[in-house]
Amino acid sequence: MKVRSAQERLMLYLDSNTEPDGRTVELRGQLQDIASDLGLTREALYRTLASLERAGAIERTGTRILLKKSVNPR
């Protein structure tokens, strides 16, 4: 299955990088590098993070992201 949208790519990345609690992600490295790894521009990554935060799927605090609800990629 190919993940296409920026939101799907980011949620897959976050899901696969959670801490042992399964909900917290500590971002290691710069967002520019994460964007590049996901095949996104830095701007697209920032927009996607903001969109997920507005939707209530994540909560950002510095370099830590809390997954509040799952956004199922299709």
User: Collapsing DSSP states into helix, strand and coil, what is residue 64?
Assistant: strand
pLDDT band at 2 (very low <50, low <70, confident <90, very high): confident
The pLDDT of residue 32: 94
Distance of alpha carbon 72 from alpha carbon 74, whole angstroms? 6
C-alpha angle 32-53-11 in degrees, rounded to nearest 5: 60
Tens digits of per-residue pLDDT, 11-57? 999 999 999 999 999 998 899 999 999 999 999 999 999 999 999 99
What DSSP designation does 67 have?
A: E
- DSSP annotation of 26 reads E
